[in-house]
Amino acid sequence: MTNKKETPQHALQRSLFDAVFFNAQEPMLVLDRGLTVLLVNNSAVKLLGWSGLDMTGKPASALVLEKDLADFSELTALAAKNGVVRNYRFYMLTSSKNIVRLFLTVQSLKDEAGAVNGFCFYLSPVSPDEWSALKDPHVFKNAARKLNRLTSIGQLTSMFAHDIKNPLHVILSTSELLRAQEGQPESVKTGAELIERNARRASKIVKTLLDFSRSGMCRLEPYSVADAAESALELIDSSLKAAKVGVQRDFAEAPKVFLDPHYMHSVIYNIINNAVQALDGAPQGRVKISSGWLEKEKEVFLTISDNGPGLETGMLENLFQPFFTTKDNGTGLGLYLARQIMDEHGGRIIVSSPAEGGAIVSLRFKKTV
């Protein structure tokens, strides 16, 4: 029995899949719902040392340290719930049992009914020196001080933003045209949608950085943290009402602090927005915003808390890592930039998640008027 000749549509489908998956520069694995390896691309084979055939059919336990298996399961559970978890610091094992340090992004794969039937893993290796630096909080502070000596973060972003925007526009336009062509196989349309979705995310990241840099560095002035919170609440009021999330205010007397209203409104808005998203579907969602003076620490505080599901320990450790996110449409830059802004204010940001649930984000300011 002879094989039927490959149709042009099937050839295009195969070429697209090869380009997007097998020949992608980023190492990628596809696991089924039971966390067994189904597909491995060439970059992952090179990184981990296994052949594609050797890896196919292996359980995740063959690739992960025993002590990290619980975290691995938790990671996939979060991806199944949220759609994606991006840039989680993790270890994986090579064929020779050596450890590879990497940032792990996990995206759930769903069928037409919306049920999760597998996961795609994106592996971004990190050198030992970079890994050690990421675990050292002083590295972030030193980097922030260096950034503060620049006249504007725009000097950094503008160097790559314009170079990236034009190619992204071409990628988006091409993927849209490919998807709109009649008679395309469903798999080709799916591949084009994947390209388009990731290109839009890249555009969103560039826009976030440019928006952050547009007004230059922070310009501090005497301001009330309670007033800053009220301004942010006005901006997000429609989202709060649409999500049926209640707001509780508890503003105690406190001195004014030196802050930049523009940047601080953005920080507070994003923290409240994170809380609203965490409360999605909750029957009695509530956000509490409080402020006041801490006599012992000599600090003014602004705290935003919610009664949502809270955060896992592993998530807390990665929250301020740039590009780490558990949201399908998130950039992973919100809390990272919030900490940069608080550093410029001579302040700090603290995130915690009590055992009984919910998340608490506290902004602390020392530069009082």
Asked whether 363 and 267 are in contact (CB, 8 A), the reply is: yes
**CA atoms of 212 and 215, how far apart (whole Å):** 7
The SS3 of residue 135 is coil
Strand 37-40 versus strand 286-294 pairing type: unpaired
Per-residue pLDDT of the chain (369 residues; tens, 9 = 90+): 445 566 777 677 777 777 778 888 889 999 999 999 999 999 999 999 887 678 889 998 889 988 888 889 888 988 888 888 877 888 898 888 888 888 888 999 988 888 999 999 999 887 666 566 555 544 444 444 444 443 344 444 555 555 566 677 677 777 777 777 777 788 777 887 878 877 776 776 666 666 555 545 566 788 999 999 999 998 888 889 888 999 999 999 999 998 888 888 889 998 999 899 888 777 789 999 999 999 999 999 999 999 988 887 777 777 777 666 766 666 667 788 888 888 878 889 999 988 888 899 999 998 666
Helix 334-344 crosses helix 261-278 at what angle (to 10 degrees)? 150
Asked whether 332 and 324 are in contact (CB, 8 A), the reply is: yes
* Nearest one of 304, 308, 305, 270 to 81, comparing CA atoms: 308
Enter the pTM of the model. 0.51
Tokens of 240: 């709060």
The SS3 of residue 316 is helix
Q: What is the CA radius of gyration of the chain?
A: 23
In the block, residue with structure tokens 């990497």: 102
Which of the 8 DSSP states describes residue 296? Answer: T
